[in-house]
Amino acid sequence: MARYTIRWVTYAEQQRDTLPSESRHDLEALLNRLINDPRRQGTYDKRTELWRTVFGYGLLTYSIEDRWVTITVLRATWIG
């Protein structure tokens, strides 16, 4: 199975950069799991066609592009 590449939209990068340091560790651990199996880590929303999963006290919203073996992170929301 191919490992996925993580791509960030600008807004998600800005959110990631403002996360508290303790949540960045949780996010990195999640991303390491996502690149191997992005569907196993999240929940699919048929209405929006997006995936969501939690990291610590955060919520990650992403899409999966199998054709390019890429995960696009759309939001990295801190909810803690």
CATH number of the domain that residue 12 is part of: 3.30.2310.20
pLDDT higher than threshold 80 for residue 1: no
Total domain count, the chain: 1
pTM for the full predicted model: 0.92
* Per-residue pLDDT reduced to its tens digit, 7-62: 999 999 999 999 999 899 999 999 999 999 999 999 999 999 999 999 999 999 99
Q: How far apart are CA 36 and CA 22, in angstroms?
A: 23
3-state secondary structure of 60: strand
* CB-CB contact of 57 with 79 (8 Å): yes
* CB-CB contact of 1 with 36 (8 Å): yes
**Domain hosting residue 56, numbered range:** 5-78
Nearest to 70 by CA among 31, 43, 44: 31
